Structure 1
Amino acid sequence: MRILVTGGAGYLGSHVTVALTERGHDVVVVDDLSAGNPAAVSRAEALTGARIPLHAVDVADIDALERIFDTERVEAVVHLAGRRPSGGRAHGPLDYYETNLGATFTLLRCMVWYGVDRLVAASTGAVYGSDPVVPSHESGPRADSSFGRAALMAEQVLADVARANRGLRTAALRCFSVAGAHPSGTIGEHAPRGGGLFSMLGQVALGQRDELDVHGGDHPTPDGTPVRDVVHVDDVAGAFVAALDALGRTDRPFSAWNAGSGRPASVLELVRTFAEAVGQRIPYRVVDRRPGDVAVSCADPTLAAEELGWRPRRTLEDACVDHWRWQSRNPAGYPGLIGGERPWRGGVGHRLRVVPPLRVGHGA
């Protein structure tokens, strides 16, 4: 199939792009490059030997997205684009509602217009709220943050639109703490000055920051630090491939599955495991909790195992080793837009197509 991957130049998106391509699919990437990087797509091409067009446009831009659907013969969509908390810093509620929901509206409208009948979207464990039932099952979302509510609203939109359009099948994968990198060390999280917990651990190991801030030592957990469900990014990418396959076998308009390991670990456990992977001590200090931090976040992955045949294969140790291989080889992340390998210099070309606004007659 020819699959459109939104956010495909980002961390998870580049791994999903590789996984789909290795399964024999043709992938087209759409990414506004606000968080993604063209080098991620170039490296995905090098890993797979495939040509992967990259359209540098905002998914919420209806004119640009129509042109892509009009020219690329899209047959299915994996939707990963959107605002997410990064490095412990949250965006404002309007960022999540306007950006994440707006992109979902535009994408679904184009899919209906062009008869594209399969979509798998990235959702989040944040839909289970700040005091979740642990482990969290798909039947119990109760989001209480703007990020989680926006994700839950997007899921409801997917379900409603699929029910209203015969033959359209949609799904949400509720991702937990995604970590690690491709074992080649060529693609990973581009976060030279922040990013997720693993990137910050790597920055300490590289001497780019003095120590790691551990937020909260008084949680109701065995060692007082937050407990997280860490799942390897390549396993999560495999979940998207499995979910897309499953939509071809079902008449159910909407499905939701957890993409988590079900094997939680505390932040201090993560620090110790990462230290073993890099072979050096990781200094840290315990600081105040952040507002809205969840004490324990853990998925129940049973439904994904039963309906998708998907189970995480990689361990926490694998995630640490693979992440360190990526970050130690790419301490500044990907190269800049100018001057790195296979640089983009603008214009319309093999690797990056800047699509001009064009209406094709469907109306708003």
Structure 2
Amino acid sequence: MILVVGGAGYIGSHLVEELVRTHEVVVLDNLSTGHRGAVDAQAVFVEGDLGSESDLESVFSKYPINAVMHFAANSLVGESVTDPLKYYENNVAATLTLLKIMLKYNVKNFIFSSTAATYGIPDVNIIREDSRTQPINPYGQSKLMVENILADFATAYDLHYVVLRYFNAAGASESGRIGEQHDPETHLIPIILQHLLGQREQISVFGDDYDTPDGTCIRDYIHVTDLAQAHIAALDSLLAEKSKTATYNLGNGQGYSVKEVIDTCESVTGRKANVIIAERRAGDPARLVASSEKIRQALGWKAERDLEQIISSAWNWHQSIQ
């Protein structure tokens, strides 16, 4: 049985929807940012907290867990700067509690959702797994801390793990059942679509004078279902004992500018956006694009869905919840 911690959140719920097709799944989530209704009905749901030893004990003692997938981090960069305690407490300390209980029950397989924020502001156009890690905020720092902890646990306790560093997850389930629903919403694609649905007055583009072809920042967008399938490929490689430890980037390898994203949203929806050019945000790199060549070679995974497919799936879902 696979334990998915944070399986009621955006990425976790999409993973669960895919995972229940091939595995028995139990979800642990405190519903602080997740949604109970997003959890696939085929999965067992337990409301509980990542940092609670008693909550974890109740799951591990009741169910035959043989792998854990961890999606339960706090992930707002700005909030991590203003409230770093929350991020180190949940993302690092609570994860240590989870690992402690895993070791107690001799569960040695762990999939960790990490982030491009571990790289900070890169000095390369295409980021590879061996690129320099130098986080510039507590969120990225907390994720890198856990990566380092996992390496130490692998050496000391024979923990088997895969770290997946991903970039901009976007889109909605092709079933139309679940999509991206944050409060507050901070991600570009849902913000644009909310505006095109009349829920926001305008879209702010933070800087149009970057050293990119159209002057706006370039980011690497990946469909959330592609992301889920990468996690399952990583899980299956661990369960088959093909590798003991690995770190992979997940992205499309190309990148799209803010202007390209807005243009594609307008094309998909047939609606025109009201765009305002605002000041640059501090710490925004001009370009963040990942190479996913390593996971393609190792596990045969690559992103299959392009920007138009990402936006079309998101648009269908946003319209359905109007």
Shorter chain as denominator, the TM-score bin is: over 0.9
Match of 1:254 in 2: 245
Superposition RMSD in Å: 1.5
Choose the corresponding residue for 2:195, options 175, 180, 204. Answer: 204
AA in 1 matched with 2:13: S
Q: What do the CA deviations read for 1:158-198 (whole angstroms, capped 9, x no partner)?
A: 111121113x2011100100000011221011136524111
Contact 1:158 1:171 in 2 (8 A): no
Match of 1:186 in 2: 177
Match of 1:63 in 2: 54
1:314 maps to 2:305: yes
Bigger drift between 129-138 and 114-123 goes to 129-138
Q: What do the CA deviations read for 1:282-333 (whole angstroms, capped 9, x no partner)?
A: 21111112222121100011001011110011111000000001111113xx
| 1:261 Cα deviation from its structure 2 partner | 0.8
In the aligned structure 2, how far is the partner of 1:3 from the partner of 1:326? 28
In the aligned structure 2, how far is the partner of 1:206 from the partner of 1:7? 29
Match of 2:113 in 1: 122
Contact 2:57 2:101 in 1 (8 A): yes
Q: What do the CA deviations read for 1:47-101 (whole angstroms, capped 9, x no partner)?
A: xxx2x12111110111111111111221111101011017x66553222222100
Match of 1:337 in 2: none
1:40 maps to 2:32: no
Counting only pairs closer than 5 Å after superposition, residues 1-364 of structure 1 correspond to structure 2 as: 2-22=1-21, 24-41=22-39, 44-45=40-41, 50=42, 52-85=43-76, 90=80, 92-140=83-131, 141-166=133-158, 168-191=159-182, 194-250=185-241, 252-331=243-322
Superposition TM-score, scaled by structure 2 size: 0.95
In the aligned structure 2, how far is the partner of 1:72 from the partner of 1:235? 28
AA in 2 matched with 1:34: S
- How many equivalent residue pairs? 320
Contact 2:208 2:216 in 1 (8 A): yes
In the aligned structure 1, how far is the partner of 2:156 from the partner of 2:218? 40
Q: Secondary structure at the match of 1:55?
A: strand
In the aligned structure 2, how far is the partner of 1:54 from the partner of 1:149? 30
In the aligned structure 1, how far is the partner of 2:79 from the partner of 2:103? 35
Alignment gaps of 5+ in structure 2: none
In the aligned structure 2, how far is the partner of 1:97 from the partner of 1:133? 28
Contact 1:82 1:103 in 2 (8 A): no
Q: What do the CA deviations read for 1:235-256 (whole angstroms, capped 9, x no partner)?
A: 0000000011111344754211
Contact 1:225 1:266 in 2 (8 A): yes
AA in 2 matched with 1:162: A
AA in 1 matched with 2:154: A
In the aligned structure 2, how far is the partner of 1:208 from the partner of 1:68? 40
Q: Secondary structure at the match of 1:256?
A: strand
In the aligned structure 2, how far is the partner of 1:172 from the partner of 1:215? 31
In the aligned structure 1, how far is the partner of 2:99 from the partner of 2:248? 20
Alpha-carbon spacing, 1:249–1:132, altered in 2? closer, same or farther (3 Å): farther
In the aligned structure 2, how far is the partner of 1:119 from the partner of 1:192? 28
Contact 1:213 1:284 in 2 (8 A): yes
Alignment gaps of 5+ in structure 1: 332-364
In the aligned structure 2, how far is the partner of 1:292 from the partner of 1:89? 14
In the aligned structure 2, how far is the partner of 1:161 from the partner of 1:69? 19
Q: Secondary structure at the match of 1:157?
A: helix
AA in 1 matched with 2:71: L
AA in 2 matched with 1:159: A
In the aligned structure 2, how far is the partner of 1:90 from the partner of 1:283? 30
| 1:134 Cα deviation from its structure 2 partner | 2.1
In the aligned structure 1, how far is the partner of 2:244 from the partner of 2:97? 19
In the aligned structure 1, how far is the partner of 2:299 from the partner of 2:267? 33
Q: Secondary structure at the match of 2:124?
A: coil
Q: Secondary structure at the match of 2:288?
A: coil
